[in-house]
Amino acid sequence: MLTTNPFDPDMQDGDKLREECGVFGILGPQDAAALAALGLHALQHRGQEAAGIVSLEGETFHQHRALGQVGDIFGSEPVMRSLRGNAAIGHVRYATTGETALRNVQPLFAEFEFGGFAVGHNGNLTNANMLRRQLVRRGCLFQSTTDTEVIIHLMATARGGNVIDRLVEALRQIEGAYSLVCLAKGQVIGVRDPLGVRPLVLGRLGEHPVLASESVALDIIGADYVRDIEPGEMVVLDEAGVQSFRPFQKAPSKFCIFEYIYFARPDSLVEGLSVYQVRKRIGAELAAESHVDADLIIPVPDSGVPAALGYAEQSGIPFDLGIVRNHYVGRTFIQPTDKIRRLGVKLKHNANRHHIAGKRVVLVDDSIVRGTTSVKIVEMMRDAGAKEVHMRISSPPTSHSCFYGIDTPEKEKLLAHKHSVEEMRQFINADSLAFISLDGLYKALGHAARNGANAQYCDACFTGDYPIPLTDYETSPVPLFAERRA
């Protein structure tokens, strides 16, 4: 039986996999920065710590970056007036490498021989520390602790050529996961890593091309979805239109499977699939694999809702909103006593007790990380009078850390890394606990099963099968130049 205190204040906010980052780029309209700000609003779920926009007016770059959320940063008329020009890129950030400080807020900007250059990055570079050591020895002076700055210095030390040549030379030296949007004179550039781990889509607003992490950012500005940028593809948006290049050796696609489970917004279209429909199919597969007699299916809000709907439809058990979430609560304050800590749990979630008392309930959530949130939710159901509490999870057990742009605890702190499903059930005090199988997850995505060593997605957080080398972490578990947040 596990004995970790679920009300330890140090664990209050570490029980969800954190969003990575979101990027946006547009070329053509005179109000490019305002459209970028709207796009970032739609991508806010991908990062809530900081945001930035760089715009281009002729040959002059304008930029504004700050800590906080998009509405607070770009809700000021003077700020938006300062971001003049008909091209802009934007970025929302949750730190996976580097401290939370203004110097790490993206897009990063630098002056080159060819002119100004800005870059926004979603993902993680897994050999950034090795490259950074080499660059420092060559005399490079770093201004941030984020891995993205390595790209700028690799471009600066490239053998020459235009911005595209330098960017390609830089990217051929790095390992890891990345979707980039870049801004240079007369150009917006988008790139996905050769395995396509992180998402990037192409859209069109009238005659103006748009790049974004998710299709919802196109929806908010009235742009049409055109297609996903393919793994290993570079697109250059300029006055000639959209040009596509393939600068990297072709490799099997390894798109992040957790985008479908949790990270992408449910109203997004990702890799040609509706995220909402995929999550409902995951819930249906979960119900088929782990049916239990019950009276109500209750989602853990908000990410558990689509899977719970699919579970309810497949099982024939009624769906109900047995937990109400308070959307106006940020980070939980540090409470001085156990009693107040327990009351503080209700700041974020409260049981709809009139529908729960005397009922057998099935809670549907997207994942269990440390397990502390599940403990609190199960206890809340029992306090509300639930007769039985069963937990169903719409992902396989998360037993390994992500190194490709998702902030996860170290694997030793993941409940599933060291404990069986039965031990986890005891820890959260549920009457039963079940996760969707890996094959069931792949089936919900339209595949017969997971194809072993040739798996169609990156699922390393469940399997430990990392498709990209972990150079920095194999040589030094604690990076020297970039803090990992855990």
Catalytic residue chosen out of the listed positions 21, 70, 278, 294: 21
- Residue 140: active-site member: no
Residues 64, 48: Cα–Cα separation, whole Å: 16
Written as six digits, the tokens of 95 are 């730190």
Q: Which domains does the chain have, with CATH numbers?
A: 21-254 (3.60.20.10), 271-466 (3.40.50.2020)
Query: Which residues are annotated as part of the binding site?
Result: 256, 303, 365-366, 402, 458, 461
Query: Which residues are annotated as part of the binding site for [4Fe-4S] cluster?
Result: 256, 402, 458, 461
pLDDT tens for the chain, 486 residues long, are 333 333 333 333 456 665 579 999 999 999 999 999 999 999 999 999 999 999 999 999 999 999 999 999 999 999 999 999 999 999 999 865 556 689 999 999 999 989 999 999 999 999 999 999 999 999 999 999 999 999 999 999 998 789 999 999 999 999 999 999 999 999 999 999 999 999 999 999 999 999 999 999 999 999 999 999 999 999 999 999 999 999 999 999 999 999 999 999 999 999 999 999 999 999 999 999 999 999 999 999 888 999 999 999 999 999 999 998 877 765 444 445 555 555 555 677 788 888 899 999 999 999 999 999 899 999 999 999 999 999 999 999 999 999 998 888 888 999 999 999 999 999 999 999 999 999 999 999 999 889 887 899 999 999 999 999 999 988 765 443 443 332
- Residues written for the chain: 486
Residue 423 — φ and ψ, nearest 5°? -65, -35
What is residue 57's predicted lDDT score, i.e. its pLDDT? 97
Pairing mode, if any, of strands 187-192 and 208-212?
unpaired
Residue 82 — φ and ψ, nearest 5°? -75, -20
> Furthest-apart CA pair in the chain: how many Å?
72
Query: Which residues are annotated as part of the binding site for Mg(2+)?
Result: 303, 365-366
